[in-house]
Chains A and B, each alone.
Chain A
Amino acid sequence: MTTEVEKAPDLGTAPQAAMAPVRRERRTLGSYLFMPVFLVLVCIGLYLYVSSQELDTIEQRSLNADNILSALWEHIQLAGASTVFVVLIAIPLGVVMTRPFTRSFRGILLTLANIGQAVPTIGLLALLALGALSFLNVDIGFSAAVIGLVAYAVLPVLRNTIVGLGQVDENILEAGRGMGISKFGVLRRIELPLAVPIILAGVRTALVINVGTATLAAYINAGGLGRIIIAGLSTNRINIQLTGAILTAVLALLIDYLAGIAEDVLRPKGL
């Protein structure tokens, strides 16, 4: 069959060297290390700068390890909790909105999600805190803040879920249905895995938005790194403002970096 090989190099009898490698956007080790090293250097620089300053008592009250770490932890909790709720709300909603039976009210839901992002967050937070205080007569800063953050960050995940599910090749779905996979089976085993890269990109966006926006939660007594920034602003201490702002930026970049790694790991092979 030597002539077979000569004539049809693409038909399986050919040597294996001709195959195309699977495109894997694996980054090199150097680019993996760049961001953490950079962030550590920023933190060291900030620490050295602050230690070299003569701190007055107001500054000392804000700029100590206990206060900074608790603000950081509050911030992570705010961003983390709101992202968990965003994922729990937006992905199922996106799935429902791509099913044929929701065609009639798809537009209304998307408009609602758009409003959530269009309304200024600080205004929404104030309204939520006011509502909690006056109607429930409780001070639920944390919960109100999470609700506001969720409203703000639902849209990117929802939109990416819809786009991600929509871009799955119709023929692949027809092949799946034609082989007797149930509708739910097609969703779980074909549509969602194929939409994972795009959905994850949306989740990553939501995380970064939440880390940034969570600084506003301090205005309704929900804590976070915003607390440090606001303390600096109200006492007119530049060192405090700087520390709060830089730490927020470092946290946002770190979380974006970790989410990027998660995207690489969770992306299905073969895509």
Chain B
Amino acid sequence: MTATTSTPAPSANTSGSAGGAGPIMIKLEGLGKQYPKEPKPAVDNLTLEIPEGEIVILVGPSGCGKTTTMKMINRIIEPTSGQIILDGEDVTRADPDQLRRKIGYVIQQIGLFPHMTIAENIATVPKLLGWEKKKIDARIDELLETVSMAPETYRNRYPKQLSGGQRQRVGVARALSGDPAVMLMDEPFGAIDPITRDRLQNEFLRLQAEVRKTIVFVTHDIDEAIKMGDRIAILQEGSRIAQYDTPEQILTAPANDFVSDFIGRGASLKRLNLSRVRDMNLTQWPTVSIGDDPARVLDALRASDKGFALVLDEQRRPRRWVSAPDLQRGDNRPLDQIGLPPDATVEPQATLNDALNELITANYSVAIVVDASGAYQGIVDIDSITEAIRTMRTDARARARVGLEADDAAQVG
């Protein structure tokens, strides 16, 4: 690894404090779990602050105690020492059933109840909370809409009738049903194929932007941690915090060898997971409407330096790529019948990594950015991604220089 030092980088946070964040929702204080007949504690005196409305990722090698730590928050596993403070209240000895109804819980295998319909699955916690039937029904429909599943289609289906991705969405909807302030997620996207996983991750981030829950998210995948986390706690054996920082900080200033080893090679490529398409300057492309005259397309192409134009429909959704040769071959056929389909689309909350993936395989090597309703926003091409990488590298170098100067100053002093 390049430039790793065993002394913490000056700006790296190796304590559990969420320094400078907003109000703290969950506070773990000296939390420990010692199993009988085990020589070492599974979780050793962990102190961690989890700020309200953020996604905090617990990540680390298997056996580091990250899942045990998470399960102690809703007391599926009872801690043997320490305290759990939830929203200012010590819940270490509260009634676990009451506590859990206030905390959404999503596990990797999702655990939908196979003998209950989707609606009954989602209604579980609201029923326990004693909601009225009318309110529960409305909540079910609202949540199914939120996770993009048509309520009238899916309400009365059984889990067995759904695909893996759909079950995962229902799992999230069920966890949100009692409107908990806190959600615990244990590798929620772990058992899903990579393509669907990317999509669900992006969807989940969009959902989180609306609901702003406090989320504790366990994964062993550093890439997922970087993509999903507002803050990442990298844990070593016994749930000791190796570093607790924003993804940006962890990539730029790993606190020690353990962290940089865990990030692995290609930290700069991973940084592509930190930048979102919405933060980029999108390239504008010649666009025409679907009903336009082919001559108008040629004009548009001539006015720009691009070789092909994007055809949009009435709702400004991309329908077709057309080039000048397409128009000549097309003998005045309507624009949606010539050229190529727009195959690579990304939403603004997608990461640059997603966009890069899409555009590499796309027909014209560009990814079209569309908003949530599918309307055209702009284009990401390889130049804009290169530009973004260059900016990030410059920033990182500047930060590294700051670190060096601090070290120099310390040595002189």
Residues of A participating in the B interface, judged by any CB pair closer than 8 Å: 1-4, 7-8, 10-13, 16, 19-23, 169, 171-182, 185, 190, 193-194, 268-271
Q: Which residue of B lies closest to A9 (CB)?
A: B163
B74-A178 in contact (CB<8A): yes
Contact of A178 among B100, B160, B374 (CB under 8 A): B100
* Distance between Cα atoms of A118 and B319 in the complex (Å): 75
Cβ < 8 Å to A, chain B residues 89-115: 96-102, 105, 107, 109-115
User: Do A270 and B107 form a contact, CB below 8 Å, given A12-B149, A179-B125, A180-B99?
Assistant: no
CB distance from A266 to the nearest CB of B (A): 12
User: 26 interchain pairs (CB within 8 A)?
Assistant: A3-B342, A4-B345, A8-B165, A10-B163, A10-B164, A11-B163, A12-B150, A12-B165, A19-B157, A19-B161, A22-B161, A169-B111, A171-B111, A172-B112, A172-B114, A178-B76, A178-B184, A179-B105, A180-B100, A180-B101, A181-B124, A190-B113, A193-B115, A270-B160, A271-B115, A271-B160
| Residue B2 is within 8 A (CB to CB) of chain A in the complex | no
B161-A177 in contact (CB<8A): no
A11-B115 in contact (CB<8A): no
CB distance from A135 to the nearest CB of B (A): 48
B111-A2 in contact (CB<8A): no
Name the residue in A13, A174, A182 with the highest tally of chain B Cβ atoms < 10 Å from its Cβ: A174
Residues of A within 8 A of B107 (CB): 171, 174-175, 178
* Interface SS of A by simple majority: loop
| Residue B154 is within 8 A (CB to CB) of chain A in the complex | yes
| Residue B33 is within 8 A (CB to CB) of chain A in the complex | no
Contact of A180 among B97, B154, B164 (CB under 8 A): B97
| Residue B343 is within 8 A (CB to CB) of chain A in the complex | yes
Residues of A within 8 A of B128 (CB): 179-181, 185
| Residue B296 is within 8 A (CB to CB) of chain A in the complex | no
A269-B199 in contact (CB<8A): no
A177-B100 in contact (CB<8A): yes
A3-B341 in contact (CB<8A): yes
CB distance from B242 to the nearest CB of A (A): 27
CB distance from B310 to the nearest CB of A (A): 13
CB distance from B67 to the nearest CB of A (A): 11
| Residue B166 is within 8 A (CB to CB) of chain A in the complex | yes
* Distance between Cα atoms of A61 and B150 in the complex (Å): 72
A20-B105 in contact (CB<8A): no
Residues of A within 8 A of B149 (CB): 12
B196-A8 in contact (CB<8A): yes
User: Do A175 and B105 form a contact, CB below 8 Å, given A3-B341, A270-B160?
Assistant: yes
Q: Besides A13-B148, A173-B111, 17 other CB < 8 A contacts?
A: A3-B318, A8-B195, A11-B165, A12-B150, A19-B157, A171-B110, A171-B111, A172-B111, A172-B114, A174-B111, A175-B111, A179-B125, A180-B96, A180-B97, A181-B128, A194-B115, A269-B158
B125-A180 in contact (CB<8A): yes
Residues of B within 8 A of A180 (CB): 96-102, 125, 128
CB distance from B245 to the nearest CB of A (A): 29
Residues of B within 8 A of A169 (CB): 109, 111
B111-A270 in contact (CB<8A): no
Q: Which residue of B lies closest to A18 (CB)?
A: B163
Residues of B within 8 A of A269 (CB): 115, 158
A179-B101 in contact (CB<8A): yes
**Interface flags, B339-360, vs A, CB<8A=1, else 0:** 0011101000000000000000
* Distance between Cα atoms of A175 and B114 in the complex (Å): 12
